């Protein structure tokens, strides 16, 4: 059984690598196709890269596991959508997470909040199947482990969009420094990789404090396991943290949710963190409800379920039971141009 692991950007690595481990554990073959040259640099020495379309055609994968919005239709094998994030309502449902591009045979959904919608779309379109598996990227978070050490750990994360980002707010920065210096808390800080370099440098310097760990690139979600509370803005990492049943404090979130503590004033940051560290029952109940909708799986075996779903799809010859995909001539032409491949 041959698998092709397909990513465009570096954020695809922590999604696909757990699947690679599961595939190899079963004695199957796994090779990579990485669209961007910059992302290729982050492949590990023992990971096998296919550099060209011709290499992929020669390899003839049975399944292509995709952590991207699109995949070349002319690649062999069934196309499996893994998703590169949770649905965070940043765009309309039709243009964002739930957009059907007519390229995939199987959608492996993360939890009930997306499964219900995708199954409805599957009935409408008829050319793909939906299986709820959980998300491979968060396998590393589960099962939860007993915390080491007694000090509370705060995970600070921020998005790169200036108008939404707490990292650009000088008063917030000063308050963070004050808390680092004055409270008996540990801090883990991670900024979005597209953040302005001046802002990044400013926060990197906080790593000189003994109680601060600065992580420049989050190539695995494992550090989230060690934090008790997250302080953030609109960062997409919110859901990834909250599904551990841990409190999230958002600063001036543009779409605040009842399952998080949203604040708008700098002076309330300390009190909000203290409140969250006490894990109040009402808040924790709302967080649990949110987590069950987004990602109910806490066994760390979503990668296993994805591979199982792919094998079942192939064994049962599900492709033959589906309608033909739409012609999508313009999109297919765009893909051929993008990859410089015009053979038929």
Instruction: Clarify whether residues 45 and 156 are in a common domain.
Output: no
Q: Report d(CA 207, CA 332) in Å as an integer.
A: 47
Are 125 and 253 part of one and the same domain? no
Q: Name the phi and psi angles at 287, rounded to 5.
A: -65, -45
Do 39 and 77 lie in a common domain? Answer: yes
> In which residue are the tokens 């379920």 written?
305
Q: What is the pLDDT of residue 99?
A: 84
User: Do 284 and 315 lie in a common domain?
Assistant: no
119 and 238 in a single domain? The answer is no
| Domain encompassing residue 33 | 2-140+297-339
| pLDDT beyond 80 at 284 | yes
The verdict on residue 344 lying in a domain is no
Mean pLDDT of 259-279: 98
**Contact (Cβ atoms closer than 8 angstroms) between residue 305 and residue 311:** no
Same domain membership, residue 189 and residue 176: yes
310/317 Cα distance (integer angstroms): 11
- In which element (H, E) is residue 292 found? helix 281-294
CA distance 214 to 207: 5
The pLDDT score that the predictor gives to residue 91 is: 46
Tell me, yes or no, whether 105 and 53 share the same domain. Answer: yes
Last residue of a domain, one of 294, 311, 331: 294
List, for residues 83-103, the tens digit of each pLDDT value: 998 975 444 444 567 889 999
pLDDT for 148 equals: 78
Q: What is the CATH number of the domain that holds 200?
A: 3.40.50.2000
330 pLDDT above the threshold of 50: yes
226 and 326 inside one domain: no
Least confident of 172-176, 184-188, 254-258: 254-258
Q: What is the CATH number of the domain that holds 82?
A: 3.40.50.11820
251 within some domain: yes
pLDDT tens digits, 2-33: 999 999 999 999 999 999 999 999 999 999 99
Together in a domain, 247 and 272? yes
Residue range 118-147: average pLDDT? 96
Cα end-to-end span (Å), the chain: 25
Q: Residues 39, 46: contact at Cβ < 8 Å?
A: no
What is the rounded (10 degree) CA torsion for 190, 194, 195, 197? 110
Pair 163, 99 in one domain = no
- Minimum mean pLDDT range among 91-105, 270-284, 307-321: 91-105
CA–CA gap between residue 210 and residue 96 (Å, rounded):
41
- Mark whether 321 and 213 lie in a shared domain: no
pTM: 0.93
Q: Which residue shows structure tokens 């007694």?
A: 150
Report whether pLDDT(343) > 70: yes
Q: Is the model more confident about 329 or about 90?
A: 329
Q: Based on the domain organization, do 181 and 164 belong to the same domain?
A: yes
Structural tokens at position 135: 């998300």
How many independent structural domains does the chain possess?
2
């Amino acid at each position: 059984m041959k698998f092709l692991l397909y990513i465009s950007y570096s954020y695809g690595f922590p999604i696909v690598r757990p699947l690679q481990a599961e595939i190899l554990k079963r004695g199957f073959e796994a090779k990579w196709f990485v669209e961007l040259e910059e992302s290729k640099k982050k492949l590990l020495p023992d990971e096998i890269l296919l550099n060209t379309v011709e290499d992929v055609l020669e390899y003839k994968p049975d399944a292509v596991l995709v952590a991207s919005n699109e995949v070349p239709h002319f690649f062999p094998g069934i196309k499996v959508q893994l998703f590169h994030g949770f649905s965070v309502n940043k765009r309309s449902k039709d243009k964002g997470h739930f957009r059907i591009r007519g390229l995939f045979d199987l959608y492996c959904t993360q939890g009930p909040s997306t499964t219900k919608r995708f199954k409805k779309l599957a009935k409408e379109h008829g050319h793909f199947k939906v299986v709820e598996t959980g998300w491979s990227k968060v396998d590393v978070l589960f099962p939860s482990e007993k915390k080491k050490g007694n000090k509370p750990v705060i995970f600070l994360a921020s998005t790169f969009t200036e108008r939404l980002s707490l990292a650009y707010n000088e008063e917030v920065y000063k308050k963070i420094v004050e808390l680092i210096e004055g409270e008996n808390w540990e801090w883990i800080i991670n900024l979005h990789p597209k953040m302005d370099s001046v802002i990044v440098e400013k926060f990197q310097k906080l790593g000189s404090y003994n109680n601060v760990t600065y992580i420049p690139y989050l190539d695995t979600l494992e550090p989230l396991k060690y934090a008790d509370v997250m302080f953030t803005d609109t960062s997409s990492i919110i859901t990834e943290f909250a599904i551990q049943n841990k409190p999230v404090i958002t600063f001036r979130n543009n779409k605040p949710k009842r399952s998080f503590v949203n604040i708008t004033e700098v002076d309330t940051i300390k009190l909000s963190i203290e409140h969250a560290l006490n894990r109040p029952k009402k808040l924790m109940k709302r967080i649990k409800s949110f987590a069950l909708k987004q990602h109910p799986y806490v066994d760390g075996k979503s990668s296993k379920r994805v591979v199982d779903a792919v094998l079942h799809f192939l064994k049962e010859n599900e492709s033959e039971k589906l309608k033909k995909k739409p012609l999508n001539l313009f999109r297919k032409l765009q893909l051929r141009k993008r990859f410089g491949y015009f053979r038929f």
